[in-house]
Amino acid sequence: MNLSDISSIKKLLSSQGFSFKKSLGQNFLIDSTVCPAMAEAACDENTGVLEIGPGIGVLTEQLSKRAKKVVTIELDQRLEKILNITLKECDNVKVIFGDAMKLDLSKIIAENFFDCEKVAVCANLPYYITSPIVMMLLESRLPIDNITVMVQLEAAQRLCAQVGTRDSGAVTVAVTYYAEKEILFEVNRESFLPSPNVDSAVIQLKIRKEPVIKVNNEEKFFRLVKACFAQRRKTLVNTVSNTLGIDKSVLKNALLEIGLTETVRGEQLSMEEIAQLSDKI
Ligand code: SAM
């Protein structure tokens, strides 16, 4: 069965009485070029791939062809019968039904990919939880080589922005801390069924062996990062003192010592400058 062919998909879904749930971010890919390109970028024959949200298995099938093993986590139990049909011939695929945000991914990886040289995450992510999933994957320090995921174009631009520019946000700093990031290609909204209101992009995060900068206290660093971007129109001094309750004079002095002015905004700081500020306050 061609899983990217719109009439085959519609026939399959209606034969199983399936209806899309918008609340689960169910927009299935119907462009035959996208999944092979994603799978090619994410893995090779020595890779164990963790997929989040297989839908009807269009990307899963392409991962199965290229990877050593695939474990795919789907929240919607209604897709079980469909996946039994579409992945019938994919012997190296295991489907787990559950919430990717709640399952113990570290255990899943250890139990399933112990004989794989590396582990990758590849997914067309449900858009309602893109950033939480990406952050969970990065912060839990799973033994992952790369994360290759489809996200909304706007989210891709934010996640992959240059720190210190207007496009960046707290999530940009966090991603940069843990990974090298790149937008691989854009995907038109017409490539999905049903078609969403926005375009998408596939991004790749290559996980660093060590964070890009050293900080004395990681928790304090990330609290400062969140505070820097909490009130974007305000100066860093105002937003950080409002959010974290730090005295303005302490912040002003610390900024001067780093060589920055007291009128600087949070989004203008580089990774190194945020790290230096976090170590000083
Ligand atoms: N991979 C398929 C494709 O590319 O056509 C489907 C992608 S669709 C954008 C997102 C999928 O994630 C849906 O199948 C949805 O049911 C599933 N999903 C939503 N929330 C989830 C969660 N918390 N954990 C696991 N799967 C989830």
Report the chain (281 residues): mean pLDDT per 10 consecutive residues.
Answer: 90 95 96 97 98 98 98 98 96 98 98 98 96 94 97 97 94 97 98 96 97 96 95 93 95 96 95 96 90
Query: pTM of whole model > 0.85?
Result: yes
Is 4 near ligand 1, meaning CB less than 6 Å away?
Answer: no
Buried b (16+ CB within 10 A) or exposed e, 67-103: bbbbbbbbbbeebeebbeebbeebeebebeeeebeee
pLDDT value at position 240? 96
Question: Would you say the CB of residue 75 lies under 6 angstroms from ligand 1?
Answer: yes
Contact present, 12 and 1 (Cβ < 8 Å): yes
Q: What is the pLDDT of residue 57?
A: 97
Kindly give the number of the ligand 1 atom that is closest to the alpha carbon of 99.
24
Q: Is the CB of 55 under 6 A from ligand 1?
A: yes
Domain residue ranges of the chain, discontinuous segments joined by +: 6-207, 218-280
Distance, CA of 281 to CA of 278 (rounded, Å): 6
Question: Which atom of ligand 1 is nearest the CA belonging to 102?
Answer: 23
* Residue located nearest, by CA, to atom 11 of ligand 1: 53
What integer pLDDT is reported at residue 233 of this predicted model?
86
Residue 100 in contact with ligand 1 by CB distance below 6 A: yes
pLDDT of residue 4: 87
Q: Which CATH number fits domain 218-280: 3.40.50.2020, 3.90.1410.10, 1.10.8.100, 1.10.10.60?
A: 1.10.8.100
Q: Which CATH class is domain 6-207?
A: alpha beta
Q: Is 57 in the pocket of ligand 1 (CB under 6 A)?
A: no
**For atom 22 of ligand 1, which residue has the closest CA?**
99
User: How confident is the model at residue 1, as a pLDDT?
Assistant: 83
pLDDT at 64: 98
CA pair distance 130, 132, nearest whole angstrom: 6
